[in-house]
A and B are shown apart, each in its own frame.
Chain A
């Protein structure tokens, strides 16, 4: 079992819809969780981070964390074509000291 798993996609949603991106992780000791967006040919950039169970909202983005289920998600409301990118889930676990473990990413396509 991989340490951080995501559906590879592609996930296609129409413009204006809600996109839901999911991530599961295996290390129960993980403490912090990050969502990065990566456009093709570019480097990853941080969208949101979350540390506590529950929801965290920032504009059109909401991160949801459930540590008991080892599950973190990212919701994108009112999806725009500019949201089309690969979304990477990163978990701060103990398996490599203080390091991130990244999921393989989910490719999102928002259709005009």
Chain B
């Protein structure tokens, strides 16, 4: 089934640990995104990639890094997790500007 897959679904992580959230899409979409969603704040863009090999910073990039080695994969890395990074993380992709974005099922991350 075509779509976008995130892993893990949920994770409890000790503060200071490194963690990579995985995102894979099989729709050959050019653009991919990472959002975090916190109660009352909606979806906030962390990082984005308009095409393989390029990345950019969104609204809340601090403490996060991404890479886009190929079209399908867009991992998000927390180098040293802090409790304020407790959130639900969504990966999304779309083919091009002005088209709809498709979302993964989300990763619920708790940093303790």
Number of A-B contacts (CB under 8 A): 57
Within 8 A of B (CB), among A56-99: 88, 90, 92, 96-99
Residues of chain A lying within 8 A (CB to CB) of residue B50: 97-98
Count contacts on B: residues with CB < 8 A to the other chain. 25
Q: Is B43's CB under 8 angstroms from A88's CB?
A: yes
Confirm or deny: B42 has a beta carbon within 8 angstroms of a beta carbon on chain A: yes
Whole-angstrom CA separation of A96 from B33 in the bound complex: 11
A43-B103, A96-B59, A99-B33 are known contacts. Are A88 and B48 too (CB-CB below 8 A)? no
Interface string of B13-51 (1 = CB under 8 A from A): 000000000000000000101010000111111001010
A8-B40, A102-B43 are known contacts. Are A96 and B98 too (CB-CB below 8 A)? no
B9 to chain A, nearest CB (A): 11
For this complex, into which size category does the number of interface residues on chain A fall? 20 to 34
Interface string of B79-98 (1 = CB under 8 A from A): 00000000000100000111
Whole-angstrom CA separation of A96 from B42 in the bound complex: 17
Q: Is B41's CB under 8 angstroms from A98's CB?
A: no
